[in-house]
Amino acid sequence: MKPLILLNFKTYKEVSGDKALVLAKKISQVSKPDYTVAIAPPLLSLKQIAQKVKIPVYSQHVDYKDYGANTGRILPAEVKALGCMGVIINHSEHRLPIAVIEKTVIACKKKKLKTVVCAQSLGVIKKVAQFKSDYIAYEPPALIGGAISITEAQPGIIVKAVDLVKKLSPRTKLLVGAGVKKAEDVGQALALGAKGVLIGSAAAKAKDPKKFLKELLI
Ligand code: G3P
């Protein structure tokens, strides 16, 4: 299984409107056969992007609701129908109660969407591991968007997180994110046992996204 490099565009101004598609196309043109490079564009660009690029597209959020009277909700069924591969659930910038995370994972599994459940601590990893998502993404909020990578700041916790997930949900893969921006960060994450990384600002704000990705993945 190739490491997953999930580039979360968030809602940065740099990816507003049609700029998200421009970035998505540039990323999709970089060939890195040893990795699975996926993107999570702003929700309002999902349809446009999922139809135009061949790399896996993830939704930055989803609700567990199905068709019906659910004003403003993002339905797993619709996300799937747009051609998305998976979803991010409980991102640090879009937290959900534990019971809602469980319902959301169940709803996404029903639609055969890959699930990336974010967790900010070993304690939360312990709770969400029981939902057997495809991935758990460990992201300490204090390091998100910062200069120091999680791999430099918390190598010991990453190892603990890897072990914890292996023990509680052996088929779930651990990703890490926060401050990841260099090849060394990715290399270190994989060396510590993570199966991939989540990257936000460094990808969304890259001046030259192709160069960024080529240099990130060696
Ligand atoms: O989802 C990725 C994320 O929260 C990390 O953001 O900007 O630290 O790479 P960033």
CA angle 143, 144, 148 (to 5 degrees): 45
* Averaged pLDDT of the chain: 98
**pLDDT at residue 28, rounded to an integer:** 98
Which of 180, 186, 205, 216 most suits a substitution to test ligand 1, by most atoms within 8 Å of the C-beta?
A: 180
Residue located via tokens 């049609």: 18
* Gap between the Cα atoms of 35 and 55, Å rounded: 11
| Six-digit token string for 62 | 């989803």
* Averaged pLDDT, 169-188: 98
Cβ neighbors of 189 (< 8 A, separation 6 or more) are 150, 151, 158, 176, 180, 196, 197
CA–centroid distance, 198 to ligand 1, in Å, is 6
- Reply yes or no on whether 91 is catalytic: yes
The model's pLDDT over 127-136, given as tens digits with 9 standing for 90+, comes to: 999 999 999 9
Residue 50 neighbours by CB distance under 10 Å: 21
Determine the straight-line distance between the first and last CA of the chain, rounded to whole angstroms. Answer: 17
What's the predicted TM-score (pTM) here? 0.98
The DSSP code sequence of 103-124 is HHHHHHHHTT-EEEEEESSHHH
Q: What is the mean pLDDT of residues 39-43?
A: 98
* CA–centroid distance, residue 10 to ligand 1 (Å): 8
- Asked if 136 contacts 125 with a C-beta cutoff of 8 angstroms, the reply is yes
pLDDT of residue 77: 98
Angstrom distance (rounded) from CA 207 to CA 67? 40
Of 7, 90, 136, 144, the one to substitute when testing ligand 1's pocket (max ligand atoms within 8 A of C-beta) is 144
Residue 99 carries which side chain, given as an amino acid letter?
A
Annotated active-site residue in 78, 91, 152, 215:
91
Asked about 139 being catalytic, the answer comes back as yes
Q: How many helices (H) and strands (E) does the chain have?
A: 10, 8
Average confidence (pLDDT) over 11-17 = 98
**Catalytic residue of the set 14, 61, 102, 139:** 139
- 185 CA distance to ligand 1 middle (Å): 13
CA 95 / ligand 1 centre spacing (Å): 14
